[in-house]
Amino acid sequence: MNSIGNEDFSGLRSAVAHGRSWLIAGLIVAMCACLGGEIRSARAANPAPAKTTWDGVYTDDEAARGKAQYNTSCSSCHMEDLSGSGQALPLAGDAFADIWEGQTMADLLGLIQGTMPQDKPGSLEPDAALDVISYILQSNKFPAGKEELKNDPDALKNILITKKAPAKTQ
Quote the DSSP letter at residue 62.
H
Q: Is 118 in the site for ligand HEC (CB under 6 A)?
A: yes
Question: Can you give the C-alpha Rg of the chain in angstroms?
Answer: 27
* Residue placing its CB nearer to ligand HEC in the complex, 115 or 151: 115
Asked if 166 and 53 touch (Cβ cutoff 8 Å), the reply is no
**What's the min distance (Å) between Cβ of 92 and ligand HEC?**
9
Q: Which stretch binds ligand HEC (CB under 6 A): 2-10, 50-58, 70-78, 149-157?
A: 70-78
Cα 168 to chain centroid distance, Å, stands at: 25
The yes or no reply on residue 79 touching ligand HEC (CB under 6 A) is no
Segment interacting with ligand HEC (CB under 6 A) among 43-51, 89-97, 140-148, 159-167:
89-97
Residue 76 lies near ligand HEC (rule: CB under 6 A):
yes
CA 64/CA 110 separation, integer angstroms: 21
- At residue 140, the 3 state secondary structure works out as coil
What number of other Cβ atoms are within 10 A of residue 149's Cβ? 24
- For position 116 contacting ligand HEC by CB under 6 A, the verdict is yes
Tell me how many residues contact ligand HEC (CB under 6 A).
20
Strands 51-52 and 159-160: parallel
The answer to whether the beta carbons of residues 79 and 85 sit under 8 Å apart is: yes
Contacts to ligand HEC from residues 2-61, by CB under 6 A: none
Contact positions vs ligand HEC (CB under 6 A):
73-74, 76-78, 87-89, 91, 96, 99, 111-112, 115-119, 124, 132
